[in-house]
Amino acid sequence: MNEWKQLYHARKWMKNNETFLPTWHAYVGYKLSLFEVFEKPITAAKAAEKHALDETLLMRWVEVGVAVGHLDAKRSGKVKSKKEVLKYIAPSSSASVGALLKEMMELHIPTLLNYPGLMTGESRMDYQAVDFGATVAETSSYLEKLAFPMMLKYMKKQNGGTVLDIGCGYGGYLARIHEKQPQMNLIGLEVHDGVIQQAEERFDADNQNVRFVHGDFTAYGDGAFQADFVMMNNLLYYFEPKDRGELLQKAATWVEKGGKLFIITPLGDAEHGKAFAAAFNSFMSAHSNLYPLPTSKELKQDGKAAGLKLKQLDPVVKEGGWYFIAFEKK
């Protein structure tokens, strides 16, 4: 009986590992632009010769692609990419989500695989935003598309005013706001100077309604800025939990009375996406300069202490445990 149970569990883990193959295949295809290589029917041998690729390894990649449904094998021996992977994985496509695969395969999974060493005494890693900044910014843009309408409904009610984005990154949210509400004054505060330069390129140089400030949020005092809407997106896990209450208190002094403070973050106690939130927390804790996810309970308590009234707490991406939180300054 024990042998049969052992075989059962071996088979179970083999089947679990099988679901990883489509992700691996899509990542390799994205990284090397292989789906574009097979956009038109071509044999693996000719593709390898044309693009200076290892023929044997390309053949293996093709075989997996056919097996998982990413590629079509023709009777002639030629292979063609499916339309869906060309549209949503190929880096040349404007609809590509391949950056998400890159972030997962090059950043998150390698970090989690380091857990045995970390748990037995190896030093925690430093997260270097400069190494993955562009990739994380691109994956964050997927979140922007879902979260932005939640913000916009508040801004439409006011029809004007000033928006301050703390940690604005490449200016994605500000660009969306400017497109829908061009009359609003927009301020982007960002600690990375090179990132600001790219954010500025999204706007006309003579635009008087948009300005970017190079600076660290923590270096400014209470009331350093005044805005009707203040955003703190994807920011809290860069700060220790014990410091977040003070951060919210400072941010609250930058919000006009009756104004709104928006926060987008994964939650450690998310009702939805518990597995992802747990994995994200594991990733954070493997770094010396990243910290556990905030919880809804902590945010409610810290917001109340800062004189903020909770107006909304809703999931943006249920599977990922990402939430949109809106506070109002009393």
- Is the per-residue pLDDT at 319 higher than 90? no
What is the pLDDT, as a whole number, of residue 197? Answer: 87
Asked whether residue 260 is assigned to any structural domain, the reply reads yes
pLDDT tier for residue 130 given thresholds of 50, 70 and 90: low
87 & 232 share domain: no
Q: Which two tokens stand for residue 42?
A: 């071509």
156 & 273 share domain: yes
Which residues face 326 on adjacent strands? Answer: 262, 312
By residue range, what is the domain housing residue 169? 132-329
Alpha helices (H) along the chain? 2-18, 21-31, 34-37, 44-51, 55-68, 83-88, 98-103, 109-113, 115-119, 129-158, 172-180, 193-200, 241-253, 274-285, 296-305
Asked whether residue 127 is assigned to any structural domain, the reply reads no
Give the domain CATH number at 159: 3.40.50.150
- Is the per-residue pLDDT at 59 higher than 80? yes
Asked whether residue 106 is assigned to any structural domain, the reply reads no
Task: Give the pairing type, strands 71-73 and 185-190.
Answer: unpaired
306 & 183 share domain: yes
Mean pLDDT on 108-134: 89
53 & 152 share domain: no
pLDDT tier for residue 248 given thresholds of 50, 70 and 90: very high
89 & 183 share domain: no
pLDDT tens track for 142-161: 889 999 999 999 999 887 89
Indicate the residue type of 132.
Answer: F
Asked whether residue 121 is assigned to any structural domain, the reply reads no
Asked whether residue 108 is assigned to any structural domain, the reply reads no
86 & 142 share domain: no
136 & 262 share domain: yes
Which candidate, 163, 201, 197, places its Cα nearest to that of 180?
Answer: 163
Indicate the residue type of 310.
Answer: L
What is the pLDDT, as a whole number, of residue 140? Answer: 84
What is the pLDDT, as a whole number, of residue 55? Answer: 98
**Under a CB-based contact definition with an 8 Å cutoff, are residues 166 and 217 in contact?**
yes
22 & 142 share domain: no
How many angstroms separate the Cα of 252 from the Cα of each of 28, 162, 264?
A: 45, 15, 16
- Residue after which a domain boundary falls, among 95, 114, 147: 95
What is the pLDDT, as a whole number, of residue 137? Answer: 78
- Residue after which a domain boundary falls, among 95, 117, 148: 95
Compute the distance between CA of residue 167 and CA of residue 190 in angstroms, rounded to an integer: 5
What is the pLDDT, as a whole number, of residue 135? Answer: 80
- Count how many domains the chain has: 2
Mean pLDDT on 290-300: 95
177 & 87 share domain: no
Give the domain CATH number at 38: 1.10.10.10
**Cα angle vertex 270, ends 265, 274, to 5°?**
110
- Is the per-residue pLDDT at 278 higher than 80? yes
What is the pLDDT, as a whole number, of residue 136? Answer: 81
Asked whether residue 311 is assigned to any structural domain, the reply reads yes
160 & 256 share domain: yes
- Residue after which a domain boundary falls, among 74, 95, 116: 95
Asked whether residue 304 is assigned to any structural domain, the reply reads yes
Task: Give me the sign of the Cα torsion angle 34, 36, 39, 45.
Answer: negative
pLDDT tens track for 154-186: 999 887 899 999 999 889 999 999 999 999 999
288 & 164 share domain: yes
What is the pLDDT, as a whole number, of residue 82? Answer: 98
Asked whether residue 306 is assigned to any structural domain, the reply reads yes
How many angstroms separate the Cα of 251 from the Cα of each of 38, 175, 201?
A: 51, 22, 27
Task: Give me the sign of the Cα torsion angle 196, 238, 264, 26.
Answer: positive
Percent of the chain with pLDDT over 70: 99
72 & 136 share domain: no
- Is the per-residue pLDDT at 231 higher than 80? yes
Q: Which two tokens stand for residue 187?
A: 């301020």
pLDDT tens track for 207-216: 889 999 999 9
